[in-house]
Amino acid sequence: MSDATPEITVEALPSGSGGRANVIVRIPGATPVIDRIVLTDAKARDAFADKVCEECSAVDRSLILSHLTQAAADMLTELAESDATESDSTDLLDLVRNNKNVELFHCPDRLPYVTVPVRDHRETFEIDSADFREWLSYQYFEANEKAPSSTAIQQAIGTLVGYAKHRGPTRDIHVRLAGHDGNIWLDLCDAERRVVCVTPHGWTVVAGNEVPVRFIRRFGMHPLPVPVRGGSIDDLRSLVNVPDDDDWILLVGWLIGCFHPTGPYAVLALSGTYGSAKSTTCKVVRRLIDPNLADVRRPPTDEREIFVASSNSRVIAFNNLSELKDQHSDALCAVTTDGGYAVRAHYTNRDEAIFSARRPVLLNGIEEVVGRSDLVDRSLTLTLPRIPEDKRLSEAEILSRFEALRPGILGALLDAVSAALRHRDQIRLERSPRVADLAIFMTAAERGMGWPEGRFVEAVFRNRAVGHVLVVEACPFGPALLALLDGGPFRGSASELLEVLCRAVEPGARSKGWPTNAKTLASEIRRITPDLEEVGVRVHLPTRRQGRDKKRVFILEKASDPRAARAAWGDGVPNAAHAAHAAHPPATSDSTGSPEVGA
């Protein structure tokens, strides 16, 4: 835009090619003069100035012509810059198209990626990422001795995104670990881009260029050490505060299960008082699989953050939880088993942002934070004892010892994973916990570790039985219900049951979350029915109204044998956890073998 006088304005709006523009002259008190001319042509400007003067004789022709000439110069400058940008954008695209080591592709959820050569290896980036922009800018500078404009880069990125989506192949993208052709690939995330290939016959460290899968490295990922042979998983026990034999078996099983390429996975939940080394244990455990700038993090504020974390790391680890909200519990169930979550994408009305990744989960808190039965079935819950002051070491000393032992421990874990690949097709479990895939994978690993076959599954059943007891005890009315049933069975409606429970527990003694109406009570009983059955309570849930008063009748009764609780109203399947407990009572830990770990 050019100003002829404070009262007169001249606008030139490009219209088509060849310097054509819609030119508008606005004169106060007169009708605007508009014409489409070749603004860059002097004769066309002269003719338009004459036209303006014919329609408004008081206007100075030379002034109009002067500003038309300035508008033409501005247009030529803009056209030159546009041509330069278009040329830069074309050059950027040529740098990608002419490089045989560059591959454009998209993953199954249609997100576009690119694999590019970087020195002596290849790296994979999201196309619309800062990392790829930096690579593209550097390639342009190397070829042209100048920097490309940001507009040219943006135009090139847009074109490459379309090419990757519509003409590129579909490939899976992996973070830290992947499965391919029956083998497992572990990205060490080191500067040399080395990867460990685990097969049914062993493992070896290979160069990144020899890897058939595409790894992407997210911000905050730290390198694993190069594993060495000859180490022992038992070396880890002196570094973590897990003296109980069952808990140790569960910890090792969870670690090995983290190497399963597809899952499902389990939640490892650590609890204990102050000074039980929960955080230190979590750091040590995570650094064997997926070390990160923040090994353990504060709990999320909403469930979306859990799924975002699952896209950016191999292990999800949250520290110092005081409670686990229902939505977070449901999200963790989904992350370990289903792996899917969708929300509306920003700045759109219909598009969705989809997160799809299964991940192992690591939690810790002073109290048992896993309080819902569906998450209990997916969890391995460990209670860490307080460490005596005369045996406590600093975290720095523990982590220093760990760094010295970590390559050997990692090598031993990979030996166990190789054994799992070798034997997993031969495993047939007589009874399976909810984490059945983990149980099969770990049972297969036992054959290569010298453990009695089935040791992990037995520990899972015992652990799950304790977990269900904790769920019932954590329920606001759970202890009162068990006390009520000690006096005999209950038969009646939810309203009648709530009335009985309210008489038994004074208002001031009721826990947070005490049901305020019959509907809430009935819903809670349905939710904890599996837990009640596990602790020996027969539960009959009404399916229709009965009797003259058309009540929905609940029947609850303590069984003399917990194994009969399920069979009473169900399909006759005995309680596997109780059976496992009876056949293999819990192992007692050696009081002299308690590890010395940091607070």
On whether both 274 and 369 belong to a single domain, the answer is: yes
User: Whole-prediction pTM value?
Assistant: 0.74
Element (H, E) at 544: none
Instruction: Give the sign of the dihedral formed by CA 143, CA 148, CA 153, CA 155.
Output: negative
- For the beta carbon of residue 305, count every other beta carbon within 10 angstroms: 16
Other Cβ atoms within 10 Å of 371 Cβ, number = 20
Q: Which of 468, 500, 517 is the last residue of a domain?
A: 468
From 84, 8, 90, select the one nearest 49 (Cα to Cα): 8
How many Å is the maximal CA-CA distance in the chain? 111
369 and 279 within one domain? yes
Distance CA 506, CA 501 (A): 9
Task: Of 150-154, 396-400, 499-503, give the lowest mean pLDDT range.
Answer: 150-154
Strands (E), 157-218: 173-174, 177-180, 183-187, 195-199, 202-206, 214-215
Q: In this structure, are 392 and 480 located in the same domain?
A: no
Residue 184 forms part of a structural domain: no
Same domain for 298 and 150?
Answer: no
For the segment 379-387, the average pLDDT, to the nearest whole number, is: 90
- Whether 527 and 570 share a structural domain: yes
Instruction: Tell me the H-state helices in 368-508.
Output: 373-376, 395-423, 436-449, 455-474, 478-486, 494-504
More confident residue, 536 or 225: 225
Given this model, what pLDDT does residue 360 score? 93
User: Mean pLDDT over all residues of the chain?
Assistant: 83
Measure the CA angle with vertex 110, ends 108 and 114; round to 5°.
Answer: 95
pLDDT at residue 552, rounded to an integer: 84
Of 47, 82, 117, the residue that ends a domain is 82
Domain boundary among the residues 131, 149, 166 is at 166
Residue 407 shares a structural domain with residue 321: yes
SS3 per residue for 365-389: ECCCCCCCHHHHCCEEEEEECCCCH
- The whole-number average pLDDT for the span 504-527 is 89
Q: Does 490 lie in the same domain as 453?
A: no
> Can you give the three-state secondary structure of 288-351, one letter per residue?
CCCCECCCCECCCCCHHHHHHHHHHCCCEEECCCCCCCHHHHHHHHHHHHHCEEEEECCCCCCC
Amino acid letter, 328: H
Tell me how far apart the alpha carbons of residues 539 and 558 are, in angstroms, rounded to a whole number. Answer: 9
Residue 221 lies in a domain: no
pLDDT at 532 over 60: yes
**Is there a single domain that holds both residue 404 and residue 531?**
no
Judgement on whether residues 363 and 489 belong to the same structural domain of the protein: no
Omega cis (within 30) before 507: no
Instruction: Name the amino acid, one letter, at 169.
Output: P
Question: 367 and 427, same structural domain?
Answer: yes
CATH of the domain at 438: 3.40.50
Are 65 and 160 part of one and the same domain?
A: no
Q: What is the pLDDT of residue 546?
A: 64
Establish if 124 belongs to a structural domain. Answer: yes
Range of 225-239, 513-527, 528-542 with top mean pLDDT: 225-239
Q: Residue 467 has what pLDDT?
A: 80
Q: Summarize pLDDT for 40-74 with one digit per residue, the tens.
A: 788 888 888 888 888 887 778 888 888 788 887 77
Same-domain status, 445 and 491: no
Q: Is residue 384 in a domain?
A: yes
Residue 15 lies in a domain: yes
- Whether residue 200 lies inside any domain: the answer is no
State the residue range of the domain holding 334.
233-468
Contacts 24+ apart (CB under 8 A), 194-200: 194/226, 196/227, 196/414, 198/259, 198/414, 198/417, 198/418, 198/421, 199/418, 199/421, 200/418, 200/421, 200/422
* Closest C-alpha to 340, from 330, 351, 348, 349: 330
Q: Give the pLDDT score at 50.
A: 85
Number of domains the chain contains: 4
CA 323, chain centre distance (Å): 20
216 is a domain residue: no
CA distance 107 to 99: 21
Residue 208 lies in a domain: no
Structure tokens at 214: 């595409």
Mean pLDDT of 268-292: 92
What is the average per-residue pLDDT within 453-480? 87
pLDDT at 346 over 90: no
- Compute the average pLDDT of residues 116-137: 91
**At CA 420, angle to CA 419 and CA 425, rounded to 5?**
115
For the chain, helix, strand, coil in percent to 5 are: 45, 20, 35
Mean pLDDT for the stretch of residues 289-295: 93
Residue 341 pLDDT: 58
Q: Which residue from 158, 57, 173 is spatially nearest to 106, judged by alpha carbons?
A: 173
